[in-house]
Structure 1
Amino acid sequence: MSDPNAPQDPARGPQQPPAYGAPQQPPVPPQQPVPPQQPPAYGAPGAPQYGAPAAPQYGQPYAPAPAQKSPILSILSLIGGIIGIVGSFFYFGGLFAIAAVVLGFIGRNKEPQAKGFWLTGIILGFVAIAIEIIWIIVLVAIIASVGSSINTY
């Protein structure tokens, strides 16, 4: 009589359990034939369509982040402030300084990510306006001094 709990193979008969310490092999499940699959017919709902986007697969990278707009107003404000500082010593920097301040404040509202550019443009613009005003006051004082000295003779 055989043990009812022992694994049996109909082709080999009852199997003996392996000896203690012997390597054990997992039982092999019986394999069933796989029916061949045919590709879906052209135009069928499951068939890939020409020009259709491929189905997403696992492991595909994410779509790239959208490109950010360049902070053109803030950069123009910075450039205007620099030209305003240099030009204020030659009496034409006032226009660039005013443009730098205006573009800086517009850039502050529209391009908050470019804080360094628009803030520097605003500061340089105000400094250039102050230098321009000081130069105008000095020029008027010099002209008044020269004019008063001419009338005394």
Structure 2
Amino acid sequence: MSDPNTPQTPNPEQPSSSPVPPPPAAPAQPAAPQYDAPAAPQPPTPPQPAAPQQPAAPQYGGAPAAPQQPAQQYGAPQAPAAPQYGQPYAAAPAQKSPILSILSLVAGIVGLIGAFFYFGVLFAIAAVVLGFLGRSKEPQAKGFWLTGIILGFVAIALEVIVIIIAVVVLASIGSQLSSY
């Protein structure tokens, strides 16, 4: 048995084999960029036409560069920008619901239907008032408040016509009954 720590000499009875050649050298790769070293100044280049550029990679410890938006084509949908480097999405601003305008629309509908039953004038007046309040405070809900104002005025006019017709009919009935 032999000691593995002692150097072994080739046995003269065994033919010596040629040593294994070393592996070929790997091709040289460019060195990784140094983040701490400033870049050497570049000679000025002639101006070229503007093209969308990709943002430069941020240096360690520095703030990430803001991404530049590429030029949009007409009619192309615009995708929302993804957050960079673990930044969360910004919360969407809370939109106020157009309460006054919706109430104006509902009051106008109820006033128009109620005009045939003699109680619609209250809802019609409420529709007009809420519609004008909605116009001043909620201009983005134009369809609601405008429809409420129009339905309110139509309901008021219809209520007046229904009351006039009712008075004429009752007067004619009363005059015919008094003649007997």
TM-score range, shorter chain: 0.5 to 0.7
Pick from 49, 67, 74 the counterpart of residue 101 of structure 2.
Answer: 74
Q: Moved runs in structure 1, 4+ residues, more than 6 A?
A: none
Structure 1's unaligned 5+ residue stretches are 1-22, 30-56
The Cα shift of 1:146 comes to: 1.1
Q: Per the alignment, do residues 27 and 135 of structure 1 end up closer, same or farther by CA in structure 2, a change over 3 Å counting?
A: closer
1:87 aligned onto 2:114 = yes
Structure 1 residue 64: deviation in Å?
1.1
Q: Deviations over 1:132-153 (max 9, x none)?
A: 1110010000111012112323
Alignment partners' CA distance in 1, 2:169 and 2:162: 10
Structure 1 position 151 matched with structure 2 position 154:
no
| Partners of 1:129 and 1:98 in 2: CA distance | 7
Aligned counterpart in structure 1 of residue 135 of structure 2, from 108, 119, 124: 108
Shift of 1:58: 3.7
Quote the Cα distance in structure 2 between the aligned partners of 1:99 and 1:27: 78
Q: Following the alignment from structure 2 to structure 1, what is the Cα–Cα distance between the partners of residues 177 and 30?
A: 121
Residue 136 (1) aligns with residue 156 (2): no
The answer for the alignment partner of 2:28 in structure 1 is 25
Whole-Å separation in 2 of the counterparts to 1:62 and 1:134 = 58
Q: Structure 1 residue 63: deviation in Å?
A: 1.5
Aligned residue for 1:67, secondary structure, equals coil
The CA RMSD over aligned residues, in Å, is 2.0
Q: CA deviation at 1:112?
A: 0.5
Alpha-carbon distance change, 94 to 26 in structure 1, aligned in 2, over 3 angstroms: same
CA deviation map 1:55-86 (0-9, x unaligned): xx745244212211111111110110010011
Deviation per residue, 1:100-136 (Å, 9 max, x gap): 0000000000001111111111111111111111100
Aligned residues: 104
Partner of 1:97: 124
Determine helix, strand or coil for the equivalent of 2:102.
helix
Cα distance in 2 for partners of 1:27, 1:82 equals 76
Structure 1 counterpart of 2:175, which letter? S
TM-score, normalised to structure 2, is: 0.53
